[in-house]
């Protein structure tokens, strides 16, 4: 059975991806700050209450950097591999910080929500050239990226838990 793969981006889609990457990079600190506040106020992520701001932040700045690189080159295997390692590391760290799977998924979902909001801002600010097929491609890249982050974080979270249980 064949799986769906994104077609190579058109020049217009590459431009929108690059412009969105720049837009998000310019707002990186605000995105991280909004995410930390969201996690600290989220009742469904109680494990975060025991962490410092630095521990909550974890690999999120690097994950955002990986998203920006993915938006400029969605088909780079090197970028995908680096992002996969960071997502897996995030899941491993969260297991040791006494998160459960729901909390891991919830915190990444909050980050995705913030970024989708920023994507809508980007589209409003950049007008018609950021909508339609070029904008849709960027949106698919963002969602696909976070689907992968969630999947790999949870897979590593579960693997770490199984490894620890075997060692006990």
The residue segments making up the domain with residue 69 are 11-167
Residues 64-121: tens digit of each pLDDT = 999 999 998 877 888 888 888 999 999 999 988 999 999 999 999 999 999 999 998 9
Residue 118 placed within a domain:
yes
| Domain tally, the chain | 1
Residues 13-32: tens digit of each pLDDT = 888 889 999 999 999 999 99
Residues 106-145: tens digit of each pLDDT = 999 999 999 999 998 998 898 877 777 777 888 888 999 9
Residue 2 placed within a domain:
no
- Please tell me the total number of residues recorded for the chain in this structure: 168
Residue 67 placed within a domain:
yes
Residue 76 placed within a domain:
yes
DSSP state letters, 113-157: HHHHHHHHHHHHHHGGGGSHHHHHHHHHHHHHHHHHHHHHHHHHH
Question: Burial, 22: exposed, middle or buried (Cβ in 10 Å; 0-12, 13-18, 19+)?
Answer: middle
Residue 80 placed within a domain:
yes
**What confidence score (pLDDT) does residue 168 get?**
64
Closest among 51, 64, 34, 165 to 103, alpha carbons compared:
51
């Amino acid at each position: 059975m064949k799986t769906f793969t994104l077609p190579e981006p058109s020049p217009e889609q590459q431009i929108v991806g690059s412009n969105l990457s720049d837009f998000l990079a310019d707002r990186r600190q605000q995105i991280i700050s909004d995410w930390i506040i969201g996690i600290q106020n989220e009742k469904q992520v109680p494990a975060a209450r025991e962490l410092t701001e630095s521990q909550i932040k974890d690999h999120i700045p690097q994950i955002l950097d990986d998203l920006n690189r993915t938006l400029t080159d969605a088909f780079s295997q090197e970028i995908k591999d680096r992002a996969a390692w960071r997502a897996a590391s995030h899941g491993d760290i969260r297991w040791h910080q006494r998160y459960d799977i729901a909390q891991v998924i919830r915190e990444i979902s909050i980050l995705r929500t913030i970024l989708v909001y920023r994507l809508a801002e980007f589209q409003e600010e950049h007008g018609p050239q950021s909508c339609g097929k070029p904008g849709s491609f960027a949106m698919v890249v963002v969602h696909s990226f976070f689907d992968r982050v969630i999947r790999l974080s949870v897979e590593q979270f579960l693997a770490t838990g199984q490894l620890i249980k075997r060692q006990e």
